[in-house]
Amino acid sequence: MFSLNPNSGIPIYKQLVDQVRRMIAGNQLKAGDELPSVRELAVQHAVNPMTISKAYSLLEAEGLLDRQRGKPMTVAQSTAGTESKAARLKRLAPAIDHLVASAHQLQLSDEDTLCAVRRAMEKNND
Amino acid sequence: MTDTVLTLDNVFKGFDGAAVLKGISAQVQSGEVIGLLGINGAGKTTLLETILGYALPDAGTVSLFGVATNVLHDESLKHRIGFVPQRDELLDQMTGRQFIELVARFYDHWNQPLLDRLAQEFDVPLDVRASKLSVGQRQKLSILVALGHEPELIFLDEPVASLDPLARRRFLQTLIDLVAEGDRTILFSTHIVSDLERVANRVWLIKDGLLKVDAALDELKERTVRITLPPGAAVSDTIRTEETLIHLRHEQESAVMVFSHWDAARHDLLARQTNGMPEPQHLSLEEIFLELHR
């Protein structure tokens, strides 16, 4: 369900928070959907349970997840899938900035870069 | 809710006049998983043995659950602590099962069903003499034995050095399961930084006899950055003397800097000094380890 890379410079909890946020914003996770338990996710990825609970707590504090005692965490009713297009685009901005900077360093033209992006998107949609 | 399970207060330890630990102070709270790093000979094993009371500190004190470890003959402590030494202490002529029975006699509480389950998960044959086991199997067996009395505080010295990747992953998952189960605390030394990066929430790095790093792993990753300046850009004296700059080198035409405590103020400072936008690169734990040893 999630793709975590413990050996990157980005802390694991942050990777998880970002992925859940994106999946909720993109409606891949819908209101009421259950998330795996802390223990399940920790054992599956062989990562520290505290890391997972830290991510869940942050998402709960943001209002994206609901916690009920003794039950799995669920996607909150209020926020799920309601993010505007503008807000979702804003989330994409850092990735775009990175792409633009990399393309510049590689001295690729705007056309060539956009073409490559379009090809990658078509591949993803197949 | 969290209790301090281990306190080190200005601990010194040396052998034959050579100081190995030169004043180590730290605390461990229950439920933490601490990964202990350091190059060969940095003093990882010495630290573990001093904590456990196998070696007495030359100066300073170590307390486990509030009890100084020079009185570790205190029976109540023994039951709460597990230790997997780097070199196993199995008896060659005994089968795993016989050895487990022997060790179990020293404890009031012993969870044999747990060991039977783990033996199966780890794929350790219990009815073969230890002398016939491979190095990896011996290591797995000695991990099992240390868990039998279900200790609250577990010390492991290079627990995975001889395990293949599959066995290592199984072992880590077991460790995670034990931690998730209850308030277990784990301190383990390893050279396999990528494993530590998965399961540890806190990192200790010994260098030159001191705890050079004692930090939450997430925090360490967030505040340690590497910045490569554009080719030709000069490094001003203000930056050169910045106290959090831990390394500065030149690669081709570019200055490469590593900062231990990166924040907005330092970002602004560097942006002003170099007339540009610094692009901080966050590092994996292995890269941080290497940068700290350059």
pLDDT > 70 in chain B, percent = 98
Mean pLDDT for A95-100 is: 88
Does A10 sit within 8 Å of B177, measured CB to CB?
no
Taking only the tens place, the pLDDT of each residue in B54-71 is 888 999 999 999 888 766
Q: Could you give the CA distance from residue B64 to residue A75 in angstroms, rounded to a whole number?
A: 42
Q: Is B165 exposed, middle or buried (0-12, 13-18, 19+ CB in 10 A)?
A: exposed
Residue A71's φ and ψ, nearest 5 degrees, are -125, 160
3-state secondary structure of B71: helix
**Cβ neighbours of B287 in A, within 8 Å:** 9
Residue type at A104 in one-letter notation: H
Most confident of the ranges A22-36, A76-90, B71-85, B266-280:
A22-36
Confidence category of residue B72, pLDDT binned at 50, 70, 90? low
Strands (E) located in chain A = 65-66, 74-75
pLDDT at B10: 96
- Into which CATH architecture does domain B4-219 fall? 3-Layer(aba) Sandwich (3.40)
Q: Torsion angle of alpha carbons A21, A24, A29, A33, nearest 10°?
A: 90
pLDDT at A82: 59
Mean pLDDT for A80-105 is: 80
Residue A58 vs residues A29, A64, B133: alpha-carbon distances, Å? 17, 9, 47
Looking at per-residue pLDDT, the higher value among B73 and A49 belongs to A49
pLDDT at B67: 85
Residue A81 has pLDDT above 60, yes or no: no
Handedness of CA B151, B154, B158, B159 (dihedral sign): positive
Whether B1 and B183 have beta carbons less than 8 Å apart is answered as no
Tell me if chain B has a CB within 8 Å of the CB of A70.
Answer: no
Please, which residues bridge with residue B203 across strands? B35, B215
Among all residues of chain B, which has the CA nearest to that of A4? B198
Taking only the tens place, the pLDDT of each residue in A1-14 is 899 999 999 999 99
Confidence category of residue B204, pLDDT binned at 50, 70, 90? very high
Take residue B31 and report the two structure tokens written for it.
Answer: 């439920």
pLDDT at B75: 72
B176 → closest Cβ in A7, A9, A43:
A43
Confidence category of residue B43, pLDDT binned at 50, 70, 90? very high
**Rg value, chain A, Cα:** 17
Does B283 sit within 8 Å of A49, measured CB to CB?
no
B197 → closest Cβ in A6, A38, A50:
A6
Take residue B157 and report the two structure tokens written for it.
Answer: 């010295």
Among A4-13, A78-87, B9-18, B278-287, the range scoring the smallest mean pLDDT is A78-87
Q: Could you give the CA distance from residue B287 to residue B219 in angstroms, rounded to a whole number?
A: 15
**Cβ neighbours of B169 in A, within 8 Å:** 46
Model pTM? 0.83
3-state secondary structure of B267: helix
Residue B274 has pLDDT above 80, yes or no: no
Interface of chain B toward chain A, CB-CB under 8 angstroms: 31, 33, 169, 172-173, 176-177, 179-180, 194, 197-201, 217-218, 221-222, 279, 281-287
pLDDT at A47: 93
Q: Sheet containing B4-15: give its strands across.
A: B18-29, B4-15, B59-64, B67-68
B199 → closest Cβ in A13, A48, A101:
A48
Does B279 sit within 8 Å of A101, measured CB to CB?
yes
Among A82-91, B176-185, B275-284, the range scoring the smallest mean pLDDT is A82-91
Residue type at B185 in one-letter notation: T
Residue B265 has pLDDT above 90, yes or no: no
Residue A80 has pLDDT above 60, yes or no: no
Number of Cβ within 10 Å of residue B117's Cβ equals 13
Rounded to a whole number of angstroms, the distance from the CA of A122 to the nearest CA of chain B is 30
Q: What is the mean pLDDT of chain B?
A: 90
Take residue B240 and report the two structure tokens written for it.
Answer: 């050169």
Residue B110 has pLDDT above 60, yes or no: yes
Please, which residues bridge with residue B13 across strands? B21
3-state secondary structure of A96: helix
